[in-house]
Chain A
Amino acid sequence: MAPDAVATLPDQAMAPEPWRIHSVRRDVASNEVLSWTLYPEPGVEPGAAPAPGQFNMLYLFGVGEVPISVSAITDDGGIVHTIRAVGSVTRAMQDLEAGTVVGLRGPFGTAWPLEQARGRDLVLVAGGIGLAPLRPVIHAALQRRSEFGRVVVCYGARSPGDMIFRDELDAWAARDDVDLRITVDRGTAAWRGDVGVVTQLVDRGGFDRRNTLALTCGPEVMMRFTASALERRGLKPEDIYVSMERNMRCAVGFCGHCQIGAHFVCRDGPVFPYPVMEPAFRVREL
């Protein structure tokens, strides 16, 4: 290998910067999902703002570090992260209050290819907490609404009580330039919306099969069936993008914890063209 081909760590890539939790918002009745709005501590020079789809490594001092995707960027430079308690670090994060300082590295990874959707219909399919990484795309698409054709947002949740960003869902539903479709796996007596898997919302069409870009985020099995439903509606696989998740450590493609075949999810993803990930979906326990 030529000396200039030797990979090196980017400067400061492994050093977390101190960011303070400005506010904590809890979305789900069970309190297992929360959103932090973070601002850099004085003296910290934030790098480039995260693009929709990218993630940061959040470090809870003395506990550990986890990759968390960005769920919004505020107008004044704050970053919103939405976190679900599923492991030791994220469970510990549930106890933190506004004012706490955490470590942040990033942003890392690939972004949703929103530019490819200009002049085309845009279909976003989110499952569960997978709405969080797609939320910045929705914000961006609504800010630049005239650049896109139909904007269809399909969201599947476990139950009405598990839906996140309820106020924003209501706001999007009230717009006549967004086709918001929501379904839950299990309804309640009070629920008047759709019941069933999110793929059935895709099956209802309402977008131009020859001129649509589809972005999907959620559990892998959901993304696989969503891609099948989109292909059934006539989309080409290369017009479908998925966001993957793996256990990450370095976030810069060195340690290999997040590898899927030849791909580092942290560096080459988390957003991948579906044809790149489709073979991996067929490998058991990968």
Chain B
Amino acid sequence: MNELLAIIEKEPFFEDMAPEHRRLLAACAAKCSYTAGTRLMSDHEPTETFWLIREGQVALESPLREGSVAFQTLGTGDILGWSWLLPPYRASYDARAVTDIHTLRFDAGVLRERMEADPAFGYVLMKHFAALIVQRLQAARLQALDIYSHGGPGHGA
């Protein structure tokens, strides 16, 4: 527990959380490692977990008829998974370990119960995930804009 708490305290995602909230998170966490190729989430499947990636790379992929297409990769320090936060608690894409990865795995089902029981904790965690979702949404919009097709500094006219 102390080791897990120490890891959580060092991570920017949990940086401004109160000590009691970090302790709640640590109580629902476990260190987990996965080998390259492991599928951590599957599109449309129920998910009751999120991960803090401590080392390694994970690809988020959309399964298409022609095969899976990676639309984003996550790496060290990134949070994987927010589908556990809102109904229907199902993943909306695949997540696959590209390399061997080391993570903190959080039991989100239990965390959700704690969030319901302790609205202050629930609000704090919801705010952190809302910020993360906004950040990813902005990144996805930027990606969709295809900004490099319009040039940029240094290319002349």
Q: Which residues of A are at the interface with B, using a C-beta cutoff of 8 A? A: 33, 55, 58, 66-69, 71, 82-84, 86-87, 89-90, 93, 127-130, 132-133, 156-158, 162, 183, 185, 187, 189, 191-197, 199-200, 203-205, 217-222, 225, 233, 243-245, 247, 270
Nearest CB in chain A to that of B68: its residue: A189
- Whether A66 pairs with B148 at a CB distance below 8 angstroms is no
Contact A195 B73 (CB under 8 A): yes
CB <8 Å contact, A66 and B156 = yes
Chain A residues closer than 8 Å to B149, beta-carbon distance: 158
**Does B151 belong to the interface (CB within 8 Å)?**
yes
A203 in contact with B135 (CB, 8 Å): yes
Q: Provide the B42-77 mask, 1 if CB < 8 A to any CB of A, else 0.
A: 000000000000000101000000010111110111
Q: Which of A66, A162, A245 has the most CB of B within 10 A?
A: A245
A191 CA to B152 CA in the complex, in Å? 24
Q: How many A-B residue pairs have CB under 8 A?
A: 132
- Contact of B117 with A by CB under 8 A: no
Tell me the chain B residues, 65-101 only, with Cβ under 8 Å from chain A: 67, 69-73, 75-78, 98
B154:A68 contact, CB within 8 angstroms: yes
C-alpha spacing A233/B77, complex, angstroms: 12
Contact in complex: A157, B73 (CB < 8 Å): no
B127 → A minimal CB distance (Å): 15
Decide: A195 and B71 in contact? CB cutoff 8 A.
yes
What is the distance, in angstroms, from B131's C-beta to the closest C-beta of chain A?
9
Decide if B157 touches A196 in the complex (CB within 8 Å): no
In the complex, the 5 A-B pairs of residues with the closest C-beta atoms, listed nearest first: A128-B148, A84-B155, A66-B156, A245-B153, A69-B154
Evaluate contact between A185 and B146: CB separation under 8 angstroms. yes
Given A89-B157, A205-B12, A130 and B139 touching (CB < 8 A)? no
Contact A204 B67 (CB under 8 A): no
13 chain-A/chain-B pairs, Cβ below 8 angstroms: A68-B154, A68-B156, A89-B156, A127-B148, A187-B69, A194-B75, A196-B73, A197-B142, A197-B143, A204-B76, A217-B152, A233-B12, A244-B153
CB distance B151 to A129 under 8 Å? yes
Judge whether A185 and B154 touch: CB under 8 Å: no
Chain B 102-156 residues near chain A, CB threshold 8 A: 135, 138-139, 142-143, 145-156
Main secondary structure of the interface of A (DSSP, over half): mixed
Q: Which residue of B lies closest to A242 (CB)?
A: B153
Q: A66: nearest residue on chain B (CB-CB)?
A: B156
**Given the complex, which residues of B lie within 8 Å of A245, measured CB to CB?**
151-155
Q: Complex Cα distance A173/B146, Å? A: 26
Known: A127-B147, A197-B142, A219-B147. A67 touches B156 (CB 8 A): yes
- Given A86-B156, A89-B156, A270-B153, CB of A221 within 8 Å of CB of B142: yes
Residue contact A84 to B143, C-beta cutoff 8 Å: no
Residues of B within 8 A of A191 (CB): 70
Bound complex: CA of A67 vs CA of B147, how far in Å?
21
Q: Give the contacting residue for A183; candidates B73, B77, B155; CB below 8 A.
A: B73
> Are B151 and A222 in touch, CB under 8 angstroms?
no
**Are A243's CB and B154's CB within 8 A?**
yes
Q: Which residues of A contact B139 (CB under 8 A)?
A: 196-197, 199-200, 225
A157-B148, A196-B72 are known contacts; what are 17 more A-B pairs with Cβ within 8 Å? A67-B156, A84-B156, A86-B151, A87-B156, A89-B156, A90-B156, A129-B152, A129-B153, A162-B148, A187-B70, A192-B98, A195-B59, A196-B73, A196-B143, A204-B78, A219-B147, A243-B154
**Which residues of A have CB within 8 Å of B148?**
127-129, 156-158, 162, 185, 218-219
Residue of B nearest to A83 (CB): B156
Tell me, in angstroms, the Cα distance from A67 to B154 when the chains sit together. Answer: 8
CA distance A219 to B145 in the complex (A): 11
Measured in the bound complex, the distance between the Cα atoms of B135 and A93 in whole Å is 40
Contacts of A68 in B (CB 8 A): 154-156
A185 to B150, CA, bound (A): 14
Residue of A nearest to B145 (CB): A221
